Amino acid sequence: MRLYNVKDKIRDYFFDRLSMREEGEVQKIICADQGSPEMDDSLRDLFEECLDSSGQTPHRHTVFRRILPYALAAVAVLASAIFLPVSYKAGLNTGEERIAAIEWVEVSVPFGEKRVVSLADGTTLHLNSGSRLTYPAVFSGSNRIVFMDGEAYLDVARDPEHPFVIKSPGLDIKVLGTSFNFKNFAHEHTAELLLLEGSVEANVSRQDETRIVRLKPGDRMLYNRENDKLDVSRFSPSGFKAFHEDNSLHFFDMEMADIAADLSRRFNREIIVLDEDLASRRYFSIFTNNETLDQILSVMSSDGKMRVRHSGKTIYLQSK
């Protein structure tokens, strides 16, 4: 990988579009070229692009500085929470120059684990396995913006003057103060939002078209990016347990392919669905008692239509 395309590679890394091998290459480049004018220019362009597209226009005299250098050993194995190697400094001339610094923090959650993140505004996020969150150490501007690829249960601090915005693949979520569960992995087709309290506005983007969906408590929104199908149904918030409560799992009319991906992240096991018929079969199941993977698969195969086979650390699922 050459430096001439590092800006595109960093943008793809930021939005989780790279393979694990390519992510490692980008991390090595960031480590090797910190402080160089080319790297600073690439990072400045990326963050200004992100902020500008979100309605936060940077002040004049923008410069970058390092927060913490990457250790070479950390490149081989991603830490569960790492600081991006730059922070955004926005200067404003008003007689004396005033400098405000935005430090961008990235949290990556390994398979089989969960993380709790508390933001500067009082918002709490419970991040599920395999999720990535990027957020500013301190919010500034008219919106409180974070970037997420994965699943989180959020308790958003109320601030009507500064809406909380989650930017994720093909779908932005805007809230004032509420509790909800949101799942949207870049490598999967379906995004899901379950609203427990408050109100949420979802902006669904596809090419040049944006649809706005306003949800109320008890609404479940399902959006399939592959076929552009959007559906809103109802569920019971009083009976809902989020994933951070007793390791709960809910599968509301979900395809087995998506269920297998959820279970793979949760239990850090490779699960392969061998046939398309089973992969597209839909299930409605709820687990709220800290069940093991074997217990969950036993329940889901109890109708006699699915065979479960273990081979080493891999589990194979196929139709009977």
Domains in the chain, please, with CATH? 1-103 (no CATH), 109-244 (2.60.120.1440), 246-320 (3.55.50.30)
274: DSSP letter: -
Res. 100: pLDDT tops 50: no
pLDDT at 15: 57
The β-bridge relationship of strands 144-155 and 164-168 is: parallel
The four Cα atoms 312, 314, 315, 319 give a dihedral, to 10 degrees, of -110
Both tokens of 167, joined, read 């930017």
Per DSSP, which regions of 129-218 are E strands? 132-136, 144-155, 164-168, 171-175, 179-184, 190-197, 200-206, 209-215
- Three-state secondary structure call for residue 288: coil
Res. 58: pLDDT tops 50: no
278: DSSP letter: H
pTM over 0.95: no
pLDDT at 170: 82
Task: Tell me how far CA of residue 45 lies from CA of 33, 137, 139, 213, in angstroms.
Answer: 16, 20, 19, 31
Pick the range with the lowest mean pLDDT from 71-85, 144-158, 197-211, 245-259.
71-85
Query: Is 263 or 289 the better-scoring residue by pLDDT?
Result: 263
pLDDT, tens only, 214-268: 999 999 999 988 888 899 999 888 878 888 887 888 888 889 999 999 999 999 9
Average of pLDDT values for 185-201? 90
Both tokens of 287, joined, read 């687990």
Pick the range with the lowest mean pLDDT from 33-42, 248-257, 265-274.
33-42
pLDDT at 270: 94
pLDDT at 98: 29
Pick the range with the lowest mean pLDDT from 119-128, 219-228, 265-274.
219-228
Nearest one of 196, 300, 316 to 254, comparing CA atoms: 300
pLDDT at 192: 92
Question: Average per-residue pLDDT in the chain?
Answer: 76
